[in-house]
Amino acid sequence: MRNVYLDYSATTPVKEEVLKEMIPYFTEKFGNPSSLYDKGLESKDAVTHAREQVAALINAKPAEIYFTAGGTESDNWAVFGACEKLKSKGNHIITTKIEHHAMLHSCAFLEKQGYEVTYLDIDKDGFIDLKQLEDAITDKTILISVMLVNNEIGTIQPIKEVAAIAKKHGILIHTDAVQGLGNLPIDVKDLGVDLMSVSSHKIYGPKGSGALYIRKGVSISNYLHGGAQENRRRAGTENLAGIVGFGKAAEIAKNNLENHIKHCSELRNYLKDRIIAEIPDTYVNGTMEKRHPGNLNITFKYIEGESILLLLNQFGISVSTGSACSSTSLEPSHVLSALGVPVEMIHGTVRFTVGDFTTKEDIDYVVDNLKTIVAKLREISSVNSTKGW
Ligand SMILES: *Cc1c(COP(=O)(O)O)cnc(C)c1O
């Protein structure tokens, strides 16, 4: 049976070249980067090199890159570090309704500590409203955090404009760019952000490795306390092989960016066109403009996304439903709810994300099976339905 992975926004396989770079750092080059003998210095040099590679991908200075254990830690550090540092100045945070749970649950935790959080709406295309953002600012606002690219519907937010507004009001601006990294050109200087979260395993690097960009001159409190690693700002012996792998993945992503975008968007559009043409009552969620090149989010009316997922799985096809990160919960996706998709439609939603290893044959295999699966499920649903479908 064919195996087709269409869930690249959940995670990606580690590329061969990345793995090859990493392996020596598990075995012969295992030194602690903080040790002063050659074996330590060799590791330290590897971390330095990786820092340059990650910095180059987002046009940061290497000294502005702080390695973490992934996107979740970076988001947590950004929001908790900013709030702790600025708590004498205010207690108000502005974010959006469509952030990743790494941000939303951190904000919910802060609300319990007495912070106030404004969650911005999105319009029917999936974008925030800059006017609503500016209106939400008070003299107590200490942080604005808006994600660059949404993980469910792929919409790319106007971060440059958001950052300009934040700057005008002297407020710290953070963006979760985990889904943006390697999927669109990112230039932190041009965007004008203070803090940016990125992750390795969404760009063909290893899991458990990521970084927080902290613009030079920006001060937030430390999140992990201990040794003097990462310029005394993020303690803990470095995830050496993970960092080396992230660096290599970032280098490849930079060199391959144009091809990657072209490859993914062509296959994604082909997938969309075939689904829309060949399966009736299907709808794309979120605009196709300003969207992650590999992302497609589709509602199949009258049926459950979970049933589609399970049947596709029987054909060796991996996709995700409504809310990828809560695929075990029955809560309808907070992103699709914010988009205004009715609850029964949210339940019929599937997210497909294509990546570097996806082929046209993969897409044909998926659509051919999908057609049969959707027809079969709709037949059952119309026979059993008591909802008047
Ligand atoms: C995957 C993801 C994260 C979490 O990153 P991890 O490295 O898995 O912790 C955060 N934000 C977004 C938008 C993501 O897609």
Query: pLDDT tens string for the chain (389 positions)?
Result: 899 999 999 999 999 999 999 999 999 999 999 999 999 999 999 999 999 999 999 999 999 999 999 999 999 999 999 999 999 999 999 999 999 999 999 999 999 999 999 999 999 999 999 999 999 999 999 999 999 999 999 999 999 999 999 999 999 999 999 999 999 999 999 999 999 999 999 999 999 999 999 999 999 999 999 999 999 999 999 999 999 999 999 999 999 999 999 999 999 999 999 999 999 999 999 999 999 999 999 999 999 999 999 999 999 999 999 654 455 566 889 999 999 999 999 999 999 999 999 999 999 999 999 999 999 999 998 876 655 44
| CA separation for the pair 183, 16 (Å, rounded) | 20
For β-strands 4-5 and 317-318, DSSP reports them as parallel
CA–CA separation, 157 vs 194, rounded Å? 16
pLDDT at 71: 98
Q: Whose CA is nearest to atom 5 of ligand 1?
A: 71
Q: Is 94 helix (H, G, I), strand (E, B) or coil?
A: strand
- Domains of the chain listed by start with CATH number: 4-11+257-381 (3.90.1150.10), 16-253 (3.40.640.10)
Which of 179, 223, 292, 335 has the most ligand 1 atoms within 8 A of CB, as the residue to mutate?
Answer: 179
Single pTM value for the model = 0.96
How many Å lie between the centroid of ligand 1 and the Cα of residue 70?
Answer: 7
Ligand 1 centre and the CA of 49: distance in Å? 24
Half-sphere exposure of 165 (CA within 13 A, CB side): 22
The dihedral sign for the CA sequence 109, 111, 115, 119: positive
Cα–Cα distance measured from residue 298 to residue 290, given in angstroms and rounded to the nearest whole number: 17
